[in-house]
Amino acid sequence: MHDILRSGLLAVVAGGVVAVLAFVPFVAVSYRRRGGLTLWRSLLWAGAAVYFWAIWTYTLIPLPDGEAYRCAGVNLRPFEFVDDIRAAVAVSGRYLTDPVVLQVALNVLLFAPLGFFLRVLGGRGILIAGAVGLATSGLIETTQLTGVWGLFPCAYRVFDVDDLIANTSGTLLGSIAAFAVPAQHRGVRRDPTAEQPRPVTRRRRMLGLLCDVVGVSLVGLAVSIVVQAVTALLLGDAATSSTDELATRAGTAVSAGLWLIVVLATGRSIGDIATRVRYTNGVLPAWVARPLRFLTGAGAYAVLAALPAPWSVLSLVLAAATMGLLLLWRDGRGLTGWIGRRRLVDDRAGVVSPSVDARA
């Protein structure tokens, strides 16, 4: 039970990391291919990310202890599990709760989500699902057979052809079960209405803000890690806490600088671009409005948060003002819209004239 919980926790953590790393591109692609983003599809993709890691954690982990290592055998006889189930049930008399029966059932159920996700998210049919299920199961069984490709001297789990059969059957059943999902919610085909403008809502603006916050944080973290690795390599034991602080400041500078460049070049933050919104011209010239967009966004927040106390409190002030104004206006125009009398519109909508902006 402890190993099962550990494998499940590892899958959730790894899947969560993948979901966070892919969050901004996922939002951007969704708005361009499907016109928007639904909670249903977001949950499906997050579930798929966790499930991908669950397949590997439940089939390969725990890795064997070097001191108690034992080589496992091989079963190349198809459907041997049928005889095993008959023998086990004859002794226990339990058809549904016998461990041998449960083992086969769990092998089927473990791969059922793979077929489901292939149809609902990938738009793939039963034959493709079966082929992918067989290939995935074969890769896992081969990894076990080779002792993780030579990492261990021999197989640490049984290579079982019956597992290939059970796993492939599970994938096929999952693909069939996916027919219960309405056709409009299946597949990756481009929505024919994807280029039609949608209303700019508070939820959409909050999603854009989240894209900016996640994006700034990830870029800053990545740069910080690289700088720390380089300084540790160059300085070795001479590296101190001051070098860690330098790495953090470098991450903040690069991430904020990237957001500044994007805003000055386009008038929009990366979150705005991902969720396909833009500000109308308003009453301010572009050379004022664009720096103002940066100063009221996630890039400026990152810079303020990195300042020493008490100046870092300004980041909380900016965050509070942004959220307050987002809730005040239905389109969530925020500080930029309030100061420059600018409205938020879908970037698929027609260009609004300055005279209309001035009256907004």
Contact 10, 61 (CB under 8 A): yes
Contact 162, 106 (CB under 8 A): no
Instruction: Output the pTM of the full model.
Output: 0.83
Contact 171, 51 (CB under 8 A): no
Q: What is the pLDDT of residue 68?
A: 67
At 279 the three-state DSSP class reads strand
Q: What is the pLDDT of residue 316?
A: 93
| Residue 313 confidence class, pLDDT cut points 50, 70, 90 | very high
Please check whether residues 220 and 254 belong to one and the same domain. Answer: yes
pLDDT surpasses 70 at 345: yes
| Residue 2 confidence class, pLDDT cut points 50, 70, 90 | low
Please check whether residues 181 and 207 belong to one and the same domain. Answer: no
Comparing CA positions, the residue from 120, 141, 119 lying closest to residue 129 is 119
Which string of b and e fits 313-327 if b means at least 16 CB within 10 Å?
A: eebeebbeebeebbe
| Boundaries of domain holding 297 | 202-359
pLDDT surpasses 70 at 230: yes
pLDDT surpasses 70 at 66: no
Please report which helix (H) or strand (E) contains residue 259, including its range: helix 241-266
Please check whether residues 245 and 166 belong to one and the same domain. Answer: no
Average pLDDT for 10-29 = 92
Rounded to whole angstroms, the Cα distance separating 325 from 128 reads 49
Please check whether residues 125 and 156 belong to one and the same domain. Answer: yes
Question: Long-range contact list for 123-129, CB < 8 A, 24+ apart?
Answer: 123/186, 123/187, 123/188, 123/189, 124/175, 125/175, 126/172, 126/175, 126/176, 129/171, 129/172, 129/174, 129/175
- Domain boundary among the residues 185, 215, 240 is at 185
Please check whether residues 98 and 157 belong to one and the same domain. Answer: yes
pLDDT surpasses 90 at 112: yes
- What backbone phi and psi angles, to 5 degrees, belong to 279? -90, 145
| Residue 241 confidence class, pLDDT cut points 50, 70, 90 | low
**Cα separations in angstroms, 277 against 107, 204, 280, 288:** 46, 9, 10, 19
Question: 10 Å Cβ neighbour count for 71?
Answer: 11
Contact 347, 277 (CB under 8 A): yes
Rounded to whole angstroms, the Cα distance separating 108 from 110 reads 6
Q: What is the pLDDT of residue 354?
A: 39
Segment among 67-71, 165-169, 295-299 with least mean pLDDT: 67-71
Rounded to whole angstroms, the Cα distance separating 159 from 142 reads 7
pLDDT surpasses 50 at 351: no
Rounded to whole angstroms, the Cα distance separating 351 from 283 reads 15
The structure tokens listed for 3 are 């190993």
| Residue 237 confidence class, pLDDT cut points 50, 70, 90 | low
- What is the percent of the chain where pLDDT is above 90? 47
- What is the percent of the chain where pLDDT is above 70? 92
Q: Would 109 be classed as within a structural domain?
A: yes
Q: Would 113 be classed as within a structural domain?
A: yes
- Domain boundary among the residues 117, 152, 185 is at 185
Q: What is the pLDDT of residue 332?
A: 81
Q: Would 46 be classed as within a structural domain?
A: yes
Pairing, β 74-75 against β 277-279: unpaired
Q: Would 194 be classed as within a structural domain?
A: no
At 278 the three-state DSSP class reads strand
Q: What is the pLDDT of residue 144?
A: 86
Q: What is the pLDDT of residue 239?
A: 62
| Residue 60 confidence class, pLDDT cut points 50, 70, 90 | confident
Rounded to whole angstroms, the Cα distance separating 285 from 352 reads 15
Number of domains in the chain: 2
Pairing, β 159-160 against β 277-279: unpaired
Please check whether residues 216 and 248 belong to one and the same domain. Answer: yes
Please check whether residues 170 and 27 belong to one and the same domain. Answer: yes
| Residue 353 confidence class, pLDDT cut points 50, 70, 90 | very low
Please check whether residues 211 and 176 belong to one and the same domain. Answer: no
| Residue 358 confidence class, pLDDT cut points 50, 70, 90 | very low
Q: What is the pLDDT of residue 359?
A: 28
Rounded to whole angstroms, the Cα distance separating 146 from 191 reads 44
Please check whether residues 170 and 36 belong to one and the same domain. Answer: yes
Q: Would 193 be classed as within a structural domain?
A: no
| Residue range 255-264, pLDDT digits in tens | 999 999 999 9
Q: What is the rounded average pLDDT for all residues in the chain?
A: 86
